[in-house]
Structure 1
Amino acid sequence: MHEIHGPDDWKTAKELFAGTVAGWTQVLTGQPFDTVKVRLQTQPRDAPLYTGMGDCVKKTIRDEGFTGFYKGTLTPLIGVGACVAIQFGALEYAKRELTALNRAAGRADPGHLTLPQLFVAGAASGLANSVLSGPIEHVRTRLQTQGTTKVYSGPLDFARKVTAQHGFSALYKGQCVTLVREFLGYGSYFAAYEWLMQRAMKNEGKKRSEIEMWKQCLYGATSGYALWLSVYPIDSIKSKLQTDGFDAKTRRYSGMVDCARKTLAQEGAAGLYRGFWACMARAAPVNAATFVAYEATMNLLGR
């Protein structure tokens, strides 16, 4: 009788689990930074609540305590774990498919993907991830911007009230701009990390599991900067749309183009970069931790 299961049968399962661990790590390290970023992005232009990142941190601690930075964390802890699992699972699948195409084309080193190929693999992971990331970030953004006045007691209460009043599609508010952000952002994100890892492996003659942790941290931090430098204005538009009214009477923007046009007209380019430094402060530690968690889990499970 032939053996049914080969040594790589559980590869995708390992990648998904390692991605989940990376997602949990990402949320726990990044949520305070993300809360500050979202609050700065969405505060009223005419009567801003905060003068900057430091003022937002100070007032949040004063009014809500340190737990104020972790509002809406349950949803991303569960959801982002699933999102990052999808990201890494889709990325590795796309990399394998592109390697197969290179092999069919007779490439000498089919597993060494070009930078455009790595961007395509990353963009595919972003699109796959957007199915969950859109509604999850919508819930988190609404909860993060509540302040001391609570309209929703938590993610389930938000989902129940919003779907009852506006239908299930309301959970996907801002989904078009989310798709754009995920495509460009994760294309840049994974292209940066994977290119640096490939380069280190080739130049040093090492396996992936042999690359030093400090280099994983450095490459992860670089990928975080690549992501946010490529899509920060788009992310600002997403936050504005996801905290906008649900009906015509309360809605300020008709869509992402209208939001961009009005923001530029009223605030200039600076209006699309509110919270930028909070995001940059978050980018390095959070994404370094994310990739180290993923690589360490994969090494533990056996690649």
Structure 2
Amino acid sequence: MAASAADVDSHDGQNAGLQTAKDLFSGAVGGIAQVLIGQPFDIVKVRLQTSTQYSSALTAAASIYKHEGALAFYKGTLTPLLGIGACVSIQFGAFHSARRFLEQRRAATDKSFIPGVSNLGYGEYYAAGAFAGVANSVISGPIEHVRIRLQAQPHGAGRLYSGPWDCVRKLSQQAGGVLPGLYRGEVVTVLREAQAYGLWFLAFEWLMNADAARNKIDRKEIPSYKIALYGGLAGEALWLGSYPLDVVKSKMQTDGFGAGQKYKSMRDCFAQTFRAEGMRGFWKGIGPTLLRAMPVSAGTFAVVEMTMRAIN
């Protein structure tokens, strides 16, 4: 994983700026892999979250395939393909920058702590991951908003947007500006990103450190298949710990504008969802999401690791 490669580089005395650039590049490559693997699962998740017409993930997938064709599973892919690479790049770059900062702070007060060798506390890993999530939300908010609009729109004659740029234009017109149009639901997006990526990186670091300690090896010696496995398990932790926030985000980002707006705020969306559907309403679509999380997260960490090893 990028963290172990970064540790090796720090021992070699490489410039922190160069290492951050490597983290960013590796994350971008991992982000592209993430989109290509996860997009079909994601469209099913969004349809389940934002509609009541499907009784299950299988029903939703079958309906999409029957009425819209196989290519419908890649609706709205252009936006995330261009943007998620940047998002994952920011996630890994911000996480490792925050991790190095926390290591230096620990080393200043604890002489036995060796940056790049000693492990941080898991609260610190969570904090570094949450920082990465918040940094990422600036880009991920509007990107996911456009993607969700494209995924949730009707098929055929009822189509609302001809593509991502048309979606951006119409959202800006309806909301009275680019920022209010694109950043709908940004508060809950920030909360979701902080919680999700705090747990994502925390789970991965715990699994990697535990493996290294159990087998008495350096982290860089952990084989790629284990990195993929631990990355996949981290993906499960990410969604189990943040899914209700994601449901509210999806509902707000498919809501109307003006007289057609159903939810006045994040709090109102939580309240209306609970009144209408109970706690179950906050977990609609969790099945395909968890199925998606394992290969997507595994692929992301594995590709980041392979890219980092190649450029090092």
TM score, norm. by length of structure 1: 0.93
Greater helix share, 1 or 2? 2
Q: Per-residue deviation at 1:208? A: 3.1
Question: Which secondary structure state, in structure 2, belongs to the residue aligned with residue 7 of structure 1?
Answer: coil
CA contact (8 A) 2:230 2:298 kept: yes
Task: Tell me which residue corresponds to 1:3.
Answer: none
CA distance in 1, matches of 2:96, 2:107: 16
The unaligned stretches of length 5 or more in structure 1 are 1-5
Establish whether residue 264 from structure 1 lines up as the match of residue 274 from structure 2: yes
1:90 to 67, 90, 94: 94
Q: Per-residue deviation at 1:106? A: 1.5
CA distance in 2, matches of 1:33, 1:191: 24
Q: How large is the Cα RMSD of the aligned pairs?
A: 1.3
CA contact (8 A) 1:209 1:299 kept: no
CA distance in 2, matches of 1:272, 1:238: 11
CA distance in 2, matches of 1:107, 1:188: 28
Alignment of 1:1-303 (within 5 A): 7-8=14-15, 9-43=17-51, 48-110=52-114, 111-148=118-155, 149-166=158-175, 167-169=177-179, 170-247=181-258, 249-302=259-312
CA contact (8 A) 2:154 2:160 kept: no
CA distance in 2, matches of 1:176, 1:254: 13
Query: Which stretch has the larger CA shift, 143-152 or 196-205?
Result: 196-205
CA distance in 2, matches of 1:206, 1:12: 25
CA distance in 2, matches of 1:258, 1:165: 21
**1:5-49 CA-partner distances (Å, limit 9, x unpaired):** x73352111111100011001000000001000000000xxxx32
The unaligned stretches of length 5 or more in structure 2 are 1-12
Question: Which secondary structure state, in structure 2, belongs to the residue aligned with residue 82 of structure 1?
Answer: helix
**1:149-177 CA-partner distances (Å, limit 9, x unpaired):** 21111111111122233211210000000
CA distance in 1, matches of 2:62, 2:106: 53
CA distance in 1, matches of 2:228, 2:218: 17
Q: Per-residue deviation at 1:274? A: 0.9
CA distance in 2, matches of 1:291, 1:190: 10
Question: Which secondary structure state, in structure 1, belongs to the residue aligned with residue 260 of structure 2?
Answer: coil
CA distance in 1, matches of 2:254, 2:145: 8
Q: 1:196 to 1:109 in 2, by over 3 A?
A: farther
Q: Per-residue deviation at 1:107? A: 4.7
CA distance in 1, matches of 2:18, 2:33: 23
CA distance in 1, matches of 2:111, 2:136: 30
**1:124-154 CA-partner distances (Å, limit 9, x unpaired):** 0000000000000000000000130211111
CA contact (8 A) 1:53 1:277 kept: yes
| Amino acid in the other structure paired with 1:165 | Q
CA distance in 2, matches of 1:69, 1:165: 27
CA distance in 2, matches of 1:205, 1:160: 56
CA contact (8 A) 2:174 2:257 kept: no
CA distance in 1, matches of 2:49, 2:272: 15
The percentage of aligned residue pairs carrying the same residue is: 47
CA distance in 1, matches of 2:140, 2:273: 24
Aligned length: 292
CA contact (8 A) 1:209 1:295 kept: no
Runs (4+) of structure 1 exceeding 6 A deviation are none
TM score, norm. by length of structure 2: 0.91
